[in-house]
Amino acid sequence: MPIGKPSHDLSLKLKLLLIKHGKCSACVDRPKAKYCGRCFNTRLEPGVLEALTVLDLGAKFKENGKRVFQELSEDDYVNPPEGSYFSHVLERKKKLERLYDELQHAPAGSEHEAKAMRELLWAIDA
Ligand SMILES: [Zn+2]
């Protein structure tokens, strides 16, 4: 996918925001610690890691669904059946991107922006 394509760009910015705000609360204050039982040294909250995985996986389904996954099974990964793992991933991705889009369009420093940020962070904890 060419760099600079809007959806790609949005996803990358969202990931950077998640990484910036999603530091593991158990080890953020001791960066030299060699081991963290909460995040297993990723330095990110487990929910943030899951959200990042969802964004990556969701993009992969869309890009390569037919080509790559069809060899594994007959399931439709681009339009997966409701309730399946793949539909869950795509729904999470859509929700995160929608909340991020809202954050992007809120005026800087406004109450709307603060609210959009809170909602995004809640969605990650969920
Ligand atoms: Zn940690």
Distance 99 CA to ligand 1 centre (A): 26
Residue 103 lies in a domain: yes
Residue 68 lies in a domain: yes
Q: What is the pLDDT of residues 5-43, one digit of tens each?
A: 566 677 889 999 999 989 999 999 987 888 999 998 899
The more confident residue out of 65 and 50 is: 50
Residue 62 lies in a domain: yes
Distance CA 69, CA 91 (A): 18
pLDDT number for residue 87: 87
The parent domain of residue 112 ranges over: 6-125
Q: Which of 114, 42, 109, 50 has its CA nearest to residue 85? A: 50
Q: Output phi, psi for 23, to 5 deg.
A: -65, 145
Q: How far is CA 52 from CA 46, 68, 109, 120, in A?
A: 10, 21, 26, 13
pLDDT number for residue 62: 77
Q: Is 91 exposed, middle or buried (0-12, 13-18, 19+ CB in 10 A)?
A: middle
> What mean pLDDT comes out for the span 114-123?
92
Distance 69 CA to ligand 1 centre (A): 33
Distance 22 CA to ligand 1 centre (A): 11
Is the pLDDT at 44 greater than 80? The verdict is yes
> In 10 A of CB 85, how many CB atoms?
10
Residue 1 lies in a domain: no
Distance 123 CA to ligand 1 centre (A): 20
Distance 47 CA to ligand 1 centre (A): 12
Please, which contacts does 72-76 make with residues 24 or more away whose CB atoms are closer than 8 Å? none
Tokens of 113: 């922006």
pLDDT number for residue 1: 42
pLDDT number for residue 82: 84
Q: How many structural domains comprise the chain?
A: 1
Q: What is the pLDDT of residues 73-87, one digit of tens each?
A: 666 667 778 888 888
Distance 56 CA to ligand 1 centre (A): 22
Distance 33 CA to ligand 1 centre (A): 9
**Is residue 48 within 8 Å of 124, Cβ to Cβ?**
yes
**How much is the mean pLDDT over the chain?**
84
Least confident of 45-54, 84-93, 112-121: 84-93
Residue keyed to tokens 């007959």: 74
**One-letter amino acid identity for 34?**
K
pLDDT number for residue 125: 76
Distance 44 CA to ligand 1 centre (A): 6
Tokens of 123: 């969605």
Q: What percent of the chain has pLDDT over 90?
A: 50
